[in-house]
């Protein structure tokens, strides 16, 4: 038996692992993981931590109180201290476990704290002399607590629904215009042959090299001259056409056979019907990719809405979130809660459409 057949037989004889662990522990070389498999999984694990750990920390911190956000050392999960009522004190006091000289552990209540120094009293004898100890020598009793108070308090003190509605209007309308304008431009540049077609395409792509700061002032002057300042149209219209969208859709439409259009023309279909009923359905993967990109661009846009919009009732979520930070005192627990709520819609859209990204980008440019 040849070496090639031996390798094939060994691969076939390897037992198949089922379930999630079988998928995660697949080995490319046979029955056991080799050094390459271990290095690959280690690389993927580290990459996953780098990508998602900050997001998880953000979500966990959004449930913490202002005091917990300021404490050192910080904790990953939000904790609520265990409290007990003590005679002579109006509010329940936090409970600590103190190891005494004989090795026994006694629960005591905190009456005040200064940095790392805490004063504790015996709940059974609250009139006795308080015990002053270092915080590192005692253990605070606490339990994980994911309270929604930050979200409720932020929504009460922050016009979240108004800003959310503005962001949804801007994102939806701008995305629809982006898909319509870019797909029409891509259709013309990919399916019609005319003099200067490639030159026009190169000029469109060259605008990607123009920094935003260069066109910011001229674009604002144009918007101001047509009366679209303090108007959501001033945020929606200027960014409707994007060179990136034209490039993605044009390259994808080049893969659609021209024979389909010729057959449609023979059957009496007009150019608009060919574009609407043949080209657009076939370009659905590329349109889904552009939809994801457009939603992300419009939803996260901060600088342009900040310049165009001055009335608070027209603010989008990003601008409103920035204005929520006070000059002297910022309630970071509310800011973090609003940040999580701001990220939720874009995450849902990406989760539903992400399967089109690989298909759309992988087939872009194939001929």
pLDDT in tens, 312-340: 889 998 888 887 765 556 778 888 888 88
Q: Is the pLDDT reported for residue 296 higher than 90?
A: no
**Architecture label for domain 152-362:** Orthogonal Bundle (1.10)
Q: Is the pLDDT reported for residue 175 higher than 90?
A: yes
How high is the pLDDT of residue 225?
92
Equal CATH topology for 80-144 and 152-362: no
pLDDT higher for 314 or 157? 314
pTM: 0.72
What is the distance between the alpha carbons of residues 119 and 315, in angstroms, rounded to a whole number? Answer: 48
Domain segments of the chain as ranges: 3-51, 80-144, 152-362
H or E, element range at 119: strand 117-121
Structure tokens at 28: 């490319």
How high is the pLDDT of residue 250?
92
How high is the pLDDT of residue 13?
39
> Given pLDDT bands bounded at 50, 70 and 90, which one contains residue 5?
very low
Least confident of 151-155, 234-238, 252-256: 151-155
What is the distance between the alpha carbons of residues 334 and 152, in angstroms, rounded to a whole number? Answer: 9
How high is the pLDDT of residue 15?
45
Pair type for strands 142-144 and 139-140: unpaired
Q: Which residue has the tokens 């002297």?
A: 328
How high is the pLDDT of residue 337?
87
- DSSP codes joined into one string, 39-108: HHHHHHHHHHHHHHHHHHHHHHHTTS-HHHHH-SS--SS-EEE-EE--TT-SS-EEEEEEE-TTS-EEEE
> Given pLDDT bands bounded at 50, 70 and 90, which one contains residue 358?
low
CA angle 19, 22, 24 (to 5 degrees): 110
What is the distance between the alpha carbons of residues 303 and 318, in angstroms, rounded to a whole number? Answer: 9
Percent of the chain residues past pLDDT 70, beyond the cut: 85
Q: Are 140 and 134 in contact (CB under 8 A)?
A: no
Least confident of 114-128, 205-219, 265-279: 114-128
Q: Is the pLDDT reported for residue 200 higher than 90?
A: yes
Average pLDDT estimate for 126-145: 81
CA 209 to chain centre: 26
Mean pLDDT of the chain: 82
pLDDT in tens, 111-133: 887 777 888 888 888 777 888 88
Q: Are 108 and 152 in contact (CB under 8 A)?
A: no
**The CATH number of the domain covering residues in 80-144:** 2.30.30
């Amino acid at each position: 038996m040849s070496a090639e057949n031996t390798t094939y037989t060994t691969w076939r004889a390897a037992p198949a692992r089922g379930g999630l662990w079988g998928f995660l522990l697949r080995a490319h070389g046979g029955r056991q993981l080799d050094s390459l498999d271990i290095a690959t999984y280690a690389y993927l694990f580290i990459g996953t931590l780098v990508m998602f750990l900050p997001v998880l920390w953000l979500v966990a911190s959004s449930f913490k109180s202002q005091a917990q956000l300021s404490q050192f050392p910080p904790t990953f999960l939000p904790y609520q201290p265990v409290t007990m009522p003590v005679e002579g004190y109006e509010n329940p006091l936090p409970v600590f476990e103190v190891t005494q000289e004989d090795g026994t552990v006694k629960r005591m209540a905190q009456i005040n704290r200064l940095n790392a120094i805490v004063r504790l009293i015996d709940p059974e004898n609250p009139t006795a002399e308080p015990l002053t100890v270092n915080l590192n020598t005692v253990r605070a009793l606490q339990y994980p607590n994911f309270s929604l108070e930050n979200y409720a308090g932020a929504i009460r003190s922050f016009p979240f629904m108004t800003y959310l509605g503005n962001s949804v209007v801007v994102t939806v309308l701008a995305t629809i215009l982006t898909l319509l304008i870019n797909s029409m431009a891509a259709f013309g540049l990919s399916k019609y042959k005319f003099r200067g077609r490639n030159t026009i395409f190169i000029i469109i792509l060259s605008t990607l090299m123009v920094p935003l700061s260069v066109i910011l002032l001229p674009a604002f002057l144009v918007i101001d001259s047509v009366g679209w300042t303090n108007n959501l149209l001033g945020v929606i219209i200027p960014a409707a056409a994007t060179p990136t969208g034209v490039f993605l859709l044009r390259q994808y439409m080049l893969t659609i056979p021209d024979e389909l259009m010729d057959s449609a023309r023979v059957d009496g279909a007009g150019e608009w019907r060919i574009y609407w009923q043949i080209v657009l359905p076939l370009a659905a993967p590329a349109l889904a990719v552009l939809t994801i990109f457009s939603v992300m661009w419009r939803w996260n846009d901060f600088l342009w809405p900040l310049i165009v919009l001055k009335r608070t009732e027209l603010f989008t979520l990003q601008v409103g979130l920035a204005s929520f930070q006070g000059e002297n005192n910022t309630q970071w627990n509310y800011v973090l809660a609003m940040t999580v709520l701001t990220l939720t819609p874009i995450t849902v859209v990406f989760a539903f459409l992400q399967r089109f990204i690989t298909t759309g980008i992988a087939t872009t440019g194939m001929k």
